[in-house]
Amino acid sequence: MREPWVREIDRRAFLRRLRPILEVYAAAMRPPPEQLPGRHTIMERHASYPRFRALVAERRPAFPGLPGTVRGFAYGFHGERGQWWHDVVHQALERRGGPGHAARWLSDAFEVAELHVHPEAQGQGLGRGLLTGLCEGRPETTVVLSTLDGPEDSPARRLYRSVGLVDLLTDFEFPGGGPRYAVMGGRLPLAPYPDPASSS
């Protein structure tokens, strides 16, 4: 089996891959099927946001010229007022620490909207590759994202902490209900991953 490889794609390539990207999202998040059309619409809208960047992890095709098989993806954009997630989190951070606190994290932020790896492809370092590639060379001063607020030692939380992200909000419920989230943030560039050899 060919190993997945991580590469950047432009807006048009992202939109062409929305169907397999949504399949990865559905396998990783297991949302109710009726939510997927709405998620498709949201992802289409996100692709029009400023400084949009997307990466995919694809298994190389058997023959040149054929599309690869999407095994993971990540994308983000420059956060601005008027974007739903940005405005909701900005208000929550203002309530938590005041306007200055919210501005420190969100006035010049790269917002990682989605990062998912198909369950069959997890444990291969794809999430790490997608995250670091997505954030590499970004002009913003901070990176922010939300992730399910499960155990602090979950794979996602460990990944984000390992590059310097900290909890900004925990047990946070977005408008409309649903699961609780942790909002995390860090400074750019990301902190380097610890070298396992140096700790042995």
User: Residue 123 in contact with residue 188, Cβ under 8 Å?
Assistant: no
Tell me, yes or no, whether 194 lies in a domain: no
Backbone angles phi, psi at 127, to 5 degrees: -60, -45
Residue with tokens 């946001």: 49
Tell me, yes or no, whether 128 lies in a domain: yes
Active site residue 160: yes
Tell me, yes or no, whether 140 lies in a domain: yes
pLDDT in tens, 160-182: 999 999 999 999 999 998 899 99
Q: How far apart are CA 133 and CA 115, in angstroms?
A: 12
pLDDT in tens, 46-71: 999 999 999 999 987 766 666 679 99
Q: How far apart are CA 196 and CA 16, in angstroms?
A: 38
- Average pLDDT over all residues of the chain: 92
Residue 200 has a pLDDT of: 39
Tell me, yes or no, whether 46 lies in a domain: yes
Q: 3-state secondary structure string, the chain?
A: CCCEEEEEECHHHHHHCHHHHHHHHHHHHCCCHHHHHHHHHHHHHHCCCCCCEEEEEEECCCCCCCCCEEEEEEEEEECCCCCHHHHHHHHHHHHHHCHHHHHHHHCCEEEEEEEEECHHHCCCCHHHHHHHHHHCCCCCCEEEEEEECCCCCCHHHHHHHHCCCEEEEEEECCCCCCCCEEEEEEECCCCCCCCHHHHC
Tell me, yes or no, whether 77 lies in a domain: yes
Tell me, yes or no, whether 196 lies in a domain: no
- CATH number at 101 reads 3.40.630.30
Tell me, yes or no, whether 195 lies in a domain: no
pLDDT reading at 195 higher than 70: no
Residue 199 has a pLDDT of: 42
Q: CB within 8 A of 51, min separation 6: which ones?
A: 77, 78, 110, 138, 139
- Largest pairwise CA distance in the chain: 56
User: How far does CA 198 lie from the centroid of its chain?
Assistant: 28
Domain containing 67 equals 5-187
User: How many domains does the chain divide into?
Assistant: 1
Tell me, yes or no, whether 70 lies in a domain: yes
Q: Which of 25, 160, 181, 193 is catalytic?
A: 160
